[in-house]
Structure 1
Amino acid sequence: MNLKEMLNVADRIVLEKTGQHLDDLQEAVLRGTLQRETYKEIAKDFDCSESRIREIGSELWQILSEELGEDVSKSNFRSTMERLQNSNALNFANNVSSIFNICAEGRHPPNIPNSHPPNQETSNRKQSQISHQDLSEMPDLGDFFDRPLELQTLTTWILQQRCRLITLTGISGIGKTTLAVQLVQQIKDEFEYAVWYTLDEFPTIEKFQSNLIQLFSNSEKQDSSPTHQKRLPLIKYLQNHRCLIVLDDVHNLFCSGEFAGKYKPECEEYRSLFKQIEKLSHQSCFLLIGWEQPREVTQVKSQNTSIRTLQLKGLDIAAGREILRDYGLEESDNSETLIHRYQGNPLWLKSVANLIQDLGGGVTELLPNDTILLPEDLKDVLQQQFDRLSELEKQIISLLAKESQRINRTKLLENDRIPASDLLNALQSLSRRCLIEQQANFYTISPVLRQYAIAYAM
C-alpha cells in the first residue's frame, strides 16, 4: 500500500466511527506518522503546537484501536494498515478489498452502512487525472540513488505546506533532474494536472503559456469554435485547479556573461509570471530546476513565505560506491577517497570511473596522491557552466584556484584590482551558481573545479 491508499483506508474507518471524514489536522498527523515524522516535526510543518498534535494523535489511535479490535499507536500505524490488506479485521465491512479499490476507482465501498453517495465531481476528477498529465518531456528515471531526506523535504513543502514556488538547484551532474523525476512519480496523482516542460535555449513565454493553457482548455472540453472559445489567463487556471508544473533547465532563461539570475531580454515576462505565482492566491506549485535560480527567489529567506529553495549536494559514500560498483571499482581501497575527491557528484563519478575502466587501471594507479582526472566529457560539462560566468566571476575563480586552502573574505577584499562592492556581488553570484563553497567568512572551490580552472580557464 502506498501512502495515499493508507490515508484513504484510515479515512473510511474514521468516517464509520464518527460520521465525518478526516480533517486537515488529522490527515497531517497520519501523513506525518507514515513519513516517520515526530510530533514536533508535524507540528512545525502545520504551524501548530506539539501538544495539540499529540492530542489529535491520541484521539486517532483510540478510534482506530476500537474499530480494528487491536492496539494501534504511532509506532505501529503503518504496519497495521499494511496488515489490513490481507485481513478481515474491519468488522464493519464484509469485503475489505472494496476499501482498497477506492484509490483506483474513486468510489465508496458498497457494504459500509451510512456511506455517502459518490461525489460526482471528485469521481470525475480521479477518472480524468491520467489525461491531465503531460509528462512527455520528463526523462526516464534511469539510475536513482536514494535521497530520502531530500525527497521528504520536497514532498513536505509541496503537499503539506502548499508552497507555490520551489527551486531545485545544484552544479551540473549533481542529480537535480533525477531527483525531480522520482518526486513527480511519487506525488503526481495528488494533483489534477501534472506537467513537465524542459526549457530549451529559446524559451519564449508565449510558447510555454500557450501549450499549458491548451492543455487546460482541452481537458475542460471547451467549445473549439473560435467565436465561442474563451481562454483564461494562466493564473486563473492555477487558481481553479491543483497543478504541479515542473520547469527543467530554467537557467536557459538567464544571460551568459552576467551575474546569476539576470533574465534575457526576451524572457523578462517570466519574472512577472513567477511573481504572480508567489503573490497571488492559488492552489498550484511550480518546481524550477537549474544551475541558477531567479533573483526574486534568492532574495526570499523567510520560511513564512510560499517560496522554498533546495540546493542539492553530492551523494553519500554508500551511494557513490554503487556507482563505482557498476564500473568494477567498488573493491578499491581508495574508493572513498575518490568519492570525496569528486564530491559525490554522480555525473563526475561516472565520467572518471568510465575513464579508469577504459584504461584498464585502478584508482591507486591512475589517481595517486591528490591527482584529479578530467575526462573529455567532464570538461565539456564544466565548460558549459564556465561559459556562463561574467568576467569578474572568472577572476574570482582564478584567485580561489591558486589557493590550496580556504581564503578569508578579508584577504579577498584586500585585492585592490577589484572594487569591494563588485567582489562581494561576484561572490554572491558564484555561490548562487553552486560553484564555490562558503564556511563562515571563508571561501574555496572543489578540487575538480580548481583543476579545471588552472588547466583550461585561466
Structure 2
Amino acid sequence: MNLKEVLQMADEMVFAKTGQHLDNLQEAILRGTMQGEKYTKIAEDIHFNESYLRQVGSQLWQILSEELGEDVNKTNVRSAMERLQVSIVSHYAQDSVQIGFVNFCGENRDPPDRPNSHPRNQETSNSKPIKTPHQDLSEMPELGDFYSRTPELHTLTTSILQQRCRLITLTGISGIGKTTLAVQLVQQIKDEFEYAVWYTLDEFPTLEKFQSNLIQLFSHSEKEDSSPTNQKPLPLIKYLQNHRCLVVLDDVHNLFSSGELAGKYKPDYEEYRSLFKQIEKLSHQSCFLLIGWEPPKEVPQLTSENTPIRTLQLTGLDTATAQEILRDKGLAESDNCEALIHRYQGNPLWLKSVATLIQELGIGASELLIDDTILLPEDLKDVLQQQYDRTSELEKQVMSLLATENQPVNVAKLLQNGQISSSDLLNALQSLSRRCLIEKEASLYTLPPVLKQYIKTRRSHLTNIDSE
C-alpha cells in the first residue's frame, strides 16, 4: 500500500463523515504518520504549533475510527488502512477491481461497512451536486513568492469550509503578506463554491454599483445555466442565500477615512456598513473575505466561535521561513540573520527592502546590527508614510509618546504627560491596535522598532525644517 492510496482512502472517509476533503494540515499529519514521523518532526517540517497539530490529529483519528468501526490512532493507522484495502479487494474481486484509487469496473457500490463514501469530485446520491463554478478572478494578483503560512491557511480554510463563517477580516500592517495569503487560499478552495469573485477596492464605486456588478454576474450565469427568462434580478442577499459564493474584497481600508480613528467610513461609502451587517446577521451560505490594513469598525478584534464572523490579524513570518527571503537576497546565515529577522519582525516586504539595500551596499547584516541600527530604505519609508498619514492626530500623539519609551508601558505611564485624556488615549490605543501599528502584551503597549525609527526620523526631519 503506497502513500497515495492511503491519502485517497482517508480523504474519502473524511468526506463521508464531514462533507469536506482532507485539508492541508490533516494531509500533512497523515503523510508524516505513514512515514513514521513523530508529531514533533511533523510540526517542525511544516512550521506549525505542535500542541495544535496533536489536537487536529486526534480529531482525524476519531473520524477514521468512526468510519472504520475500530479504534484508530497514530500508532495503528497504517495497519487499519491495510485491513481496509484487503477488505475492499476481497469484496470486489469479482468486479475486476483496479486498485489505484479503488476504481470499480462495473456497478458502483460502496465498500463494506462504509455506506456513505464520497470519492473526490464525484457526485453521490447523498451529496448535493456542485454546479459548474462561475469565477471572476480577473482582479486577483498573481501569487508570486509565497512563504509558508500553514497555520494561517488552516485557520482560514477551517473558518470558511467547515465552520461556514459568513464574514472574515484579514488584517495586518503593510507588507506582511495579507493579499499573498488570500491568493493562495482562493486557489485552494475556489472550486468548493458556485461563485468565486475578487474585487480590489481601489477607487471602487458606491455600494449600489458594487452590488449591481455582483448581481449582474449572478443573473447572467443563471441564464446560461438555464433557459433565458425575463425575470428581474433578485436582491444581492437572495443570490448569497441561493448559491454558495466566495467574495473577496482586497484593500478594504480604502472605504475608510484618513485622519480619523480606524474603520470610519468615507461619506460616499457609509452604505457598506449596512451590507457587512446584513452579511453577518442574515442566514445564507456564502462568505465575504475582507482584506486590508484595518477592519470595519463593527467587526470586533476578538470573536467567538458562536458567531459567524472571524478576524485574523497577520503577524510576521517565523524565523525559518523568513530566512528563505534573506537567502534569496544572498545573505548567509552567518550574517546574524536571526537578529535581523527579529528587528524587522519577520515582515516579508520590510526584510526584502533592507536585504536589497544591504546587498547593493555590499555590507553584512552584522555591520547593520551594530548599535541597534535600523535602516529605513526610501521604498520602506514610503510604505510606512502611507499608513502613518492615515492615522488621526490623536494617534500620532500616542505614537510619538511610545517612540520615546525604551520599554513597553502601561496606560498609567502614558497618562503621566497630561497631554491626552484617559478616554482619548484608550480610543487611540484601540484604533492603533486595529491598524496593527502597536503591539500589546498583557496591559503593556509598545511601538515596533521599525515604526519607532520611522517616527524618530520623521521628527528629526521636521525639526531640521523648522530650524532653517
Place the TM-score, normalised by the shorter chain, in its bin.
Answer: 0.7 to 0.9
SS in 1 for 2:108: coil
- Structure 2 residue 130 is matched with structure 1 residue 125: yes
Question: Which of 60, 67, 73 is the aligned partner of 1:60?
Answer: 67
Residue number in structure 1 paired with 2:146: 144
Per-residue deviation at 1:355?
0.6
Residue number in structure 2 paired with 1:236: 238
CA contact (8 A) 2:171 2:293 kept: yes
Per-residue deviation at 1:10?
3.3
Distance 1:373 1:243, change over 3 A: same
**How big is each residue's C-alpha offset from its partner over 1:334-381, in whole Å with a ceiling of 9 and x where there is no partner?**
211100000000000000000111111111224422001000110110
Distance 1:156 1:56, change over 3 A: closer
* Counterpart code for 1:9: E
1:176-215 matched pairs, under 5 angstroms: 176-215=178-217
Residue number in structure 1 paired with 2:377: 375
**How big is each residue's C-alpha offset from its partner over 1:124-169, in whole Å with a ceiling of 9 and x where there is no partner?**
735x22xx01111111111111111111111111111111111111
Residue number in structure 1 paired with 2:35: none
Q: Structure 1 unaligned runs (5+)? A: 12-20, 64-70, 102-107
CA contact (8 A) 1:134 1:196 kept: yes
Residue number in structure 2 paired with 1:166: 168
CA contact (8 A) 1:94 1:111 kept: no
1:22-421 matched pairs, under 5 angstroms: 22-24=16-18, 27=19, 34=27, 36=29, 57-62=64-69, 89=89, 91-92=91-92, 94-96=96-98, 110-113=106-109, 125-126=130-131, 128-129=132-133, 132-221=134-223, 228-298=230-300, 301-421=303-423
- Structure 2 residue 4 is matched with structure 1 residue 10: no
Per-residue deviation at 1:287?
0.8
* Counterpart code for 1:145: Y
Structure 1 length-normalised TM: 0.81
CA contact (8 A) 1:176 1:289 kept: yes
Q: Structure 2 unaligned runs (5+)? A: 31-38, 40-50, 117-121, 463-468
Which stretch of structure 1 is more off in the superposition, 110-119 or 339-348? 110-119
* Counterpart code for 1:153: T
CA contact (8 A) 1:171 1:291 kept: yes
Per-residue deviation at 1:415?
2.9
Per-residue deviation at 1:301?
3.2
Residue number in structure 2 paired with 1:438: 440
What is the rounded CA distance, in whole Å, between the counterparts of 1:112 and 1:8 in structure 2?
A: 18
What is the rounded CA distance, in whole Å, between the counterparts of 2:373 and 2:279 in structure 1?
A: 47
What is the rounded CA distance, in whole Å, between the counterparts of 2:277 and 2:142 in structure 1?
A: 31
* Counterpart code for 1:333: D
Per-residue deviation at 1:204?
2.1
* Counterpart code for 1:61: L
Task: Report sequence identity in percent.
Answer: 66
What is the rounded CA distance, in whole Å, between the counterparts of 2:188 and 2:436 in structure 1?
A: 27
What is the rounded CA distance, in whole Å, between the counterparts of 2:179 and 2:243 in structure 1?
A: 25
SS in 1 for 2:175: coil
CA contact (8 A) 2:17 2:63 kept: no
CA contact (8 A) 1:134 1:194 kept: yes
CA contact (8 A) 2:64 2:72 kept: no
1:420-435 matched pairs, under 5 angstroms: 420-435=422-437
What is the rounded CA distance, in whole Å, between the counterparts of 1:214 and 1:239 in structure 2?
A: 16
What is the rounded CA distance, in whole Å, between the counterparts of 1:362 and 1:440 in structure 2?
A: 36
What is the rounded CA distance, in whole Å, between the counterparts of 2:379 and 2:182 in structure 1?
A: 24
* Counterpart code for 2:130: R
SS in 1 for 2:400: helix
What is the rounded CA distance, in whole Å, between the counterparts of 1:246 and 1:334 in structure 2?
A: 39
Per-residue deviation at 1:61?
2.4
CA contact (8 A) 2:9 2:101 kept: no
SS in 1 for 2:338: helix
CA contact (8 A) 1:9 1:100 kept: no
Per-residue deviation at 1:60?
1.4
CA contact (8 A) 2:11 2:22 kept: no
CA contact (8 A) 1:167 1:309 kept: yes
Per-residue deviation at 1:95?
4.5
Per-residue deviation at 1:218?
1.7
What is the rounded CA distance, in whole Å, between the counterparts of 1:271 and 1:442 in structure 2?
A: 32
SS in 1 for 2:16: coil
Output the aligned Cα RMSD. 3.9
Per-residue deviation at 1:172?
0.4
What is the rounded CA distance, in whole Å, between the counterparts of 2:261 and 2:192 in structure 1?
A: 37
Per-residue deviation at 1:74?
5.7
Per-residue deviation at 1:77?
5.5
SS in 2 for 1:296: coil
SS in 2 for 1:407: coil
Distance 1:83 1:328, change over 3 A: farther
Structure 2 length-normalised TM: 0.79
Distance 1:360 1:88, change over 3 A: farther
SS in 1 for 2:185: helix
Per-residue deviation at 1:324?
0.5
Per-residue deviation at 1:4?
10
* Counterpart code for 1:112: N
* Counterpart code for 1:287: L
Distance 1:237 1:83, change over 3 A: farther
Per-residue deviation at 1:407?
1.6
CA contact (8 A) 1:329 1:353 kept: yes
* Counterpart code for 2:400: S
**How big is each residue's C-alpha offset from its partner over 1:262-284, in whole Å with a ceiling of 9 and x where there is no partner?**
01111111111111111000011
Distance 1:222 1:148, change over 3 A: closer
Question: Which of 424, 442, 450 is the aligned partner of 2:452?
Answer: 450
Aligned length: 424
CA contact (8 A) 1:98 1:109 kept: no
